Amino acid sequence: MEVVIQPDAGAIATLVADEIERLLAARPDAVLGLATGSSPLAIYDELVRRHEAGRISFARARAFMLDEYVGLPDAHPERYRNVIDREIAGRVDFAPGAVQGPDGNAEDLVGACAAYEQAIADAGGVDLQILGIGTDGHIAFNEPGSSLGSRTRIKTLTSQTRLDNARFFDDDVDAVPVHCVTQGLATIMSARHLVLVATGSAKAEAVHHLVEGSVSAMWPATIMQHHPRATVLVDPAAASRLQLGDYYREVFAAKPAWQGI
Ligand code: F6R
Q: What tens digit of pLDDT does each residue of 62-106 get? A: 999 999 999 999 999 999 999 999 999 999 999 999 999 999 999
pLDDT score of 258: 86
- Which residues sit opposite 62 in a β-bridge? 31
Ligand 1, atom 8: closest residue by C-alpha = 140
Catalytic residue among 46, 143, 164, 235: 143
139 lines ligand 1 (CB under 6 A): yes
Is 138 marked active-site? yes
Q: Pick the atom of ligand 1 nearest to 132's CA.
A: 10
232 falls in which pLDDT band (50, 70, 90)? very high
Catalytic residue among 46, 68, 127, 136: 136
Length of the chain: 261
pLDDT score of 226: 98
Determine the distance separating the centroid of ligand 1 and the alpha carbon of 260, expressed in angstroms: 24
Q: Lay out the sheet containing 62-65: strands in order across.
A: 2-5, 230-234, 193-198, 128-131, 31-34, 62-65, 99-100
- pLDDT over 90 (residue 245): yes
Catalytic residue among 87, 127, 138, 209: 138
The pTM of the full predicted model, rounded to 2 decimals, is: 0.97
Q: Pick the atom of ligand 1 nearest to 40's CA.
A: 14
pLDDT score of 257: 85
Q: Whole-angstrom Cα distance, residue 135 to residue 200?
A: 10
pLDDT score of 20: 98
Determine the distance separating the centroid of ligand 1 and the alpha carbon of 140, expressed in angstroms: 6
- Answer yes or no: CATH 3.30.70.920 is held by domain 2-253: no
**CB burial string 176-206: b at 16+ within 10 A, e below:** bbeebbbbbbbbbbbbbbbbbbbbeeebbbb
Percentage with pLDDT > 90 across the chain: 98
- Arithmetic mean of pLDDT, 224-229: 98
